[in-house]
Structure formats: C-alpha cells, structure tokens
A = this chain, B = another copy of it.
Amino acid sequence: MSNARTLPLLEPDGQGVVPCCPPLTERPFTAEEAETAARMFKALGDPVRLRLFSAVASHAGGEACVCDISDVGVSQPTVSHHLKKLKEAGLLTSERRGTWVYYRVEPSVLAAMGRLLTSPAAGPAGATTGN
C-alpha cells in the first residue's frame, strides 16, 4: 500500500483510489462532494500556500523539504505552518528523514483536481456550443 492514506479528494478502492467528484461541468455537485472539493480549493486559496504548493510540486523529484523552499518571503515557522495546512487538506504527503520533513504532491491528487476542472468544450477540438 506504500504510504497511501485516505485523501479528502480521493477515496480508497480495491484497485487504488477513486476521485471524490465528477468534473464541475458534468452535473451539479452534491453537498458532500462540494464539502470535499471546497476544502482543497480553500487550501490553495492563499497566495503564500499556493506558492509553497507550486514550489513543492515543481521541485526536482516531486518533493521538497522546508529547507528547499524558504524563499517566499515568510519565516520558516510560517512555511511549516502552511505546509501542514496543505497536508491536512490532503494536497501534500510528508515523510521525516533525519532533521527534515519532506513534502510531496501526490500525482493522483493533482490528477483528481485537474479532472474537476475538465471542460469538454475547452480543448482545441472541443465541441462547438449550439448557441
């Protein structure tokens, strides 16, 4: 099972994980789906957290420790605080190695988030809307 755990946006399944929610354009979200997905969006709704998330997501090897991403203009305790929030929202996982905690963006979570925002009409070969 590696270091898999129950992520808010993904639910464990026999085969792996299943995204919580359909694309936003497919049908109106239920209250439960909206609760789950809104938690994730809210976590990314802070500029500093978003920069940190991007810093982890784009770091070599897909993971980073606080020591790697402390150049966003806030103190290291603040960085740690925000990383913890992202972790609580299920957007990052973490692993301690020696002195440092390493944070990682789960590709499956990114994929689930991207799926939420998939628009059938957005692609270059998307269907034309009637009127």
Which residues of chain B are within 8 angstroms of A60 by Cβ–Cβ distance?
131
User: How many residues in A have their beta carbons less than 8 Å from beta carbons of B?
Assistant: 52
Q: Which of B35, B38, B48, B114 contacts A117 (CB 8 A)?
A: B114
- Residue A46 is within 8 A (CB to CB) of chain B in the complex: yes
Which residues of chain B are within 8 angstroms of A72 by Cβ–Cβ distance?
28, 31
A45 to chain B, nearest CB (A): 3
Mark A58-73 against chain B: 1 for CB-CB distance below 8 A, else 0.
1011100000010011
A99-131 residues with Cβ-Cβ distance < 8 A to B are 105, 107-108, 110-111, 113-114, 117-119, 121-123, 126, 129-131
Which residues of chain B are within 8 angstroms of A43 by Cβ–Cβ distance?
45
11 further A-B pairs in the complex, CB-CB below 8 A; given A28-B55, A29-B54: A29-B50, A29-B55, A34-B47, A34-B54, A35-B47, A38-B47, A61-B130, A110-B117, A110-B118, A114-B114, A114-B118
Interface of A toward B, CB cutoff 8 Å: 24-31, 34-35, 37-39, 41-51, 53-55, 57-58, 60-62, 69, 72-73, 105, 107-108, 110-111, 113-114, 117-119, 121-123, 126, 129-131
